[in-house]
Chains A and B, each alone.
Chain A
């Protein structure tokens, strides 16, 4: 990866992506690891990790449900879907289910406004959401989780 950039600094974002994939979230230990690996101070790495919303400094559930709350999604019913998910999962946005399966988050525009309402579950988008389709997605993920 380092070969793709003119300096090591540019590898910080991709390395943090890899670290998060490996460790689940960017704990203090993970930050120290990346800092040592690339030869920067932990503060330098932490400054980057805390700026970007996709880097999770705290553990998240196996499935991170990120529901868009921006305007196009709101106009198409996102607020009601977020309430529906909160009820169904028994957690508020920002919370994680007791079994660690789901974390529910609200996020800003995901760039998929023509198929609103939209949520991102880990790496994948789910579009044109309804209460029914959300129920099916959550039930499917729960079965997958076992």
Chain B
């Protein structure tokens, strides 16, 4: 099986420039510097590389939104604000292979005539930020960042910017505000970041994994990358599996592999003879599916066809014996905590969802509460500046649609049949 990213992640020295280079690193950068810029962009388009942060927008197309004129300097921002519950792959890239990301930054910036890059790393990842900073320092020392890279006359400065604890900053316009020293409130679009982004300048925001794929695409060609995946969704993905499976962790797998194979072959199946009850397939914001729905390709379009999403690659495994009301309650507490407060439907709605679920779980549910939740959801979906409200609604609705009987039973019996615990 062809690997794009993780081949050398077992090597503790791979995070250093010398080892990375000895194992073939920075060759793609040299190759890119000998290519016409538009040819690099064309290869990325051919690769069918779709954003790995959750939205799945084709990276090459996103790059094409930059204004044609070069009168205003452009900015590249790497979204390393990994915070979608269930997702822990960018942390792995940053700690095991930071030069993959840095080489991707150099190639992308060169191709798009960008001279300033920022890596926005979530504040909690203190150690990862240190590793990335050390790798950046090494790249500067080798002349791969800074002035006149490889004697090409091309300059690029890269700065690590640490967040300070806010899920919302994973949303790209909120991240840009946070980078600018403001509260992480999402911006109204348009204007889109490609025309008015960081510091008012045309900006491309790419996820860590997306940008780390770029060197391989330059080395092997876009078509080869595309061929690893499925139609319109190329390459491999870092799939994160958490919950009570035998081997939780990050697996690099071809896009389109079946979800069943991810769970039972790669993650080793369920722990201690537990049975599978449900799966949240792409991070906590994606609609839950039942155990009988896992014979589906793990790619953006196949997942969409069954009403859910591959999202950011975070597969959360829920075993039989788990109270779905309690599980949803945990998630809604999260969204209520993380709503930035800017839009009323989200600020109030997430709070309502969390409170009503808590009372249902605690045996204080009232008749009509489940309908109330669905009604609140209808008043949130699509009515806010950013997708955080939708991100709360999608699990809320799907948990109820797929496990309605459990919610009704809590309300009817005035208690949690699972004993109010996990």
Partner of A70, one of B126, B182, B330: B330
Contact-residue size bin, chain B (C-beta under 8 Å from the other chain): 35 or more
Chain B proximity mask over A121-139: 1 for CB below 8 Å, otherwise 0: 0011100000000000000
B83 contacts chain A at the CB level, 8 A cutoff: yes
B183 contacts chain A at the CB level, 8 A cutoff: yes
For the complex, count residues of A whose C-beta is within 8 A of B.
Answer: 42
B331 and A71: CB pair below 8 A?
yes
A91 contacts chain B at the CB level, 8 A cutoff: no
A52 and B184: CB pair below 8 A?
yes
From known contacts A52-B164, A113-B88, infer whether A108 and B248 are also in contact, taking CB-CB under 8 Å: no
Chain B residues closer than 8 Å to A12, beta-carbon distance:
181
Chain B proximity mask over A41-73: 1 for CB below 8 Å, otherwise 0: 000000110011111000000000000011110
Chain A residues closer than 8 Å to B322, beta-carbon distance:
75
B165 contacts chain A at the CB level, 8 A cutoff: yes
Interface centre among A11, A77, A110 (most CB of B within 10 A): A110
How far, in angstroms, from A111 to B81 measured CA to CA in the complex?
Answer: 10
B159 and A51: CB pair below 8 A?
no
A113 and B87: CB pair below 8 A?
yes
Partner of A71, one of B126, B180, B182, B316: B316
Chain A residues closer than 8 Å to B157, beta-carbon distance:
4
In angstroms, how far is the closest chain B Cβ from the Cβ of A86? 15
Q: Which chain B residue has the least Cβ–Cβ distance from A5?
A: B159
Q: Which chain A residue has the least Cβ–Cβ distance from B248?
A: A114
In chain A, residues 1-52, which have Cβ atoms closer than 8 Å to a Cβ of chain B?
A: 4-7, 9-14, 16-17, 47-48, 51-52
A75 and B243: CB pair below 8 A?
yes
B82 contacts chain A at the CB level, 8 A cutoff: yes
Q: Which chain B residue has the least Cβ–Cβ distance from A38?
A: B181
How far, in angstroms, from A112 to B92 measured CA to CA in the complex?
Answer: 10
Chain A residues closer than 8 Å to B330, beta-carbon distance:
69-71, 74
Q: Which chain A residue has the least Cβ–Cβ distance from B123?
A: A54
Chain A proximity mask over B395-422: 1 for CB below 8 Å, otherwise 0: 0000000000000000000000000011
Q: Which chain A residue has the least Cβ–Cβ distance from B116?
A: A6
Chain B proximity mask over A69-109: 1 for CB below 8 Å, otherwise 0: 11110111101100000000000000000000000000011
Chain B residues closer than 8 Å to A51, beta-carbon distance:
166, 183-184, 340
In chain B, residues 269-318, which have Cβ atoms closer than 8 Å to a Cβ of chain A?
A: 280, 284, 314, 316-318
A7 and B183: CB pair below 8 A?
no
From known contacts A10-B180, A111-B122, infer whether A70 and B284 are also in contact, taking CB-CB under 8 Å: yes
Partner of A52, one of B87, B166, B248: B166
A111 and B244: CB pair below 8 A?
no
Chain B residues closer than 8 Å to A72, beta-carbon distance:
85-86, 242-243, 316
Could you give 13 example pairs across A and B, Cβ below 8 Å? A4-B157, A4-B159, A17-B164, A51-B183, A74-B330, A76-B244, A80-B421, A111-B83, A112-B88, A113-B86, A115-B248, A123-B127, A124-B127
Chain A interface (Cβ < 8 Å from any Cβ of B): 4-7, 9-14, 16-17, 47-48, 51-55, 69-72, 74-77, 79-80, 108-116, 120, 123-125
Across the A-B interface, the 7 shortest Cβ-Cβ residue pairs: A52-B164, A53-B165, A113-B242, A54-B165, A12-B181, A72-B242, A9-B181
